[in-house]
Amino acid sequence: MTGKIITHIPLCILMLFSVLCVEPLYAMHFMDDDVTVPDDAATAPIDSAQASSDSIPTLPWPQSLQASLDTIVSKSSLLKTAQMGLYVYDLTADSAIYSRDSKQTMRPASTMKLITAITALDKLGGAYLYKTRLCYNGEVIDSIRTLKGNIYLIGGMDPMIGSDDIRAFIESIKELGVDTIRGNICADRSMKDTDLYGEGWCWDDDNPELSALVYHRKDALLNKFYSMLTDNGVVIIGSLEERRCPNGAFEISCQTHSIDQILDRMMKDSNNLFAESLFYQIGLTRGRPSTAKKAVAVEEEIMKKMKMQGVPHRFADGSGLSLYNYVSAEIEVAFLRYAFADTNIYADLFSHLPIAGVDGTLEKRMRGTSAANNVRAKTGTLSGVSSLSGYCTASNGHILAFAIINQGQQNNSPAKALQDRICTILCR
């Protein structure tokens, strides 16, 4: 009897030990601040072998995804000294699946352009056109080929206006049978306020000028139009002046560009002027002149629709250049969810987002991983700030919305590498 008891004790202990070791393999959102890893642990490129080691195949989705995210976040040396807000939402299942400091307000950098784009598509629609108009008052005297009156160049803050558009304006004047203007060439900048720079912009940046008559990033369209008129043989007996076009003036020509053209440069290339121009189109829906405050008020309407008006944040501009912008990963994902719920907004937005490993500001990122040609997201970069927000498709076919904001790092490269690893996990 005694011999049998001694024989079975090791087997019982072994079975109990096995159960205890297997059970705690996964703990939701585990964060071990005492883990010490090499500095390059969070920045090394991820390959298929490494991806397999990061995953926990015994767990079902999304628990396996959550565990993998916990693993790389806990091992990140970057997050010992810098902040990160991370939020992942399963749009297909309509549920949040991962959160780390997702309510922490941070500077979004150019992911602010997502909020601008979604608001614009919601308020203006995908068929919206930018318009720059040329009008005149007075009379055309055919016998002497003269316009006795003023020409009005009415700005629409179109960043795509170029020399071809100006030539079209000049041709429209000549089609009137006019080669002499006895009057003034007037700039109508009434579309927006007179502020040429955004609130909270750094004075030492190469910032675009926010003019209703913008030309090549400067308030220069009127002068360019005047010089091309004279170069094309039109005699001007008058001066340049600032004056609003009067009611009853005759329209000579109208040059347009579509919101799709604006969004492509704004999102793929992260063009700040294009984003600000769209921001002021939003504000224009609340009357002339458009202002940043009016545009923000429209964005706040969407916050109210999302029932997030009480969530801490501050919107200051359309591009993310302002140091006064403060949002959270949760807010950015809320806007992505809002867009996803409207098929028209989502289709337009999705088509203009940079594609990982393919184009735009993500062209050189995530190549050779499961995120390549999958992740569609807006990047953001300022000094000490790196962000990435957008959509991807998980291995089970679910569409995910995510936002990652890194802040406080001296070098943004490790932050981008960490974002890329996170996206790779989301997609595999």
Higher pLDDT, 54 or 9: 54
Angle between helices 272-284 and 292-305 in degrees, nearest 10: 80
Element (DSSP H or E) covering residue 51? helix 48-54
> Torsion-angle region of residue 177: left (phi > 0), alpha (psi -120 to 50) or beta?
left
pLDDT tens digits, residue range 116-141? 999 999 999 999 999 999 999 999 99
For residue 332, is pLDDT > 50? yes
pLDDT tens digits, residue range 200-253? 999 988 999 999 999 999 999 999 999 999 999 999 999 999 999 999 999 999
pLDDT tens digits, residue range 35-56? 333 334 344 444 443 444 454 4
Averaged pLDDT for residues 388-412: 97
pLDDT of 50 reads: 45
Element (DSSP H or E) covering residue 255? strand 250-258
Q: What is the average pLDDT score of the chain? A: 89
pLDDT of 309 reads: 87
Averaged pLDDT for residues 90-106: 98
Residue 228 identity (one-letter amino acid): M
CA distance 163 to 193: 25
For residue 404, is pLDDT > 50? yes
Measured at the alpha carbon of residue 262, what is the angle toward residues 217 and 190, in degrees to the nearest 5? 60
Phi and psi torsions of 209, nearest 5°:
-95, 130
Nearest to 278 by CA among 221, 338, 318: 318
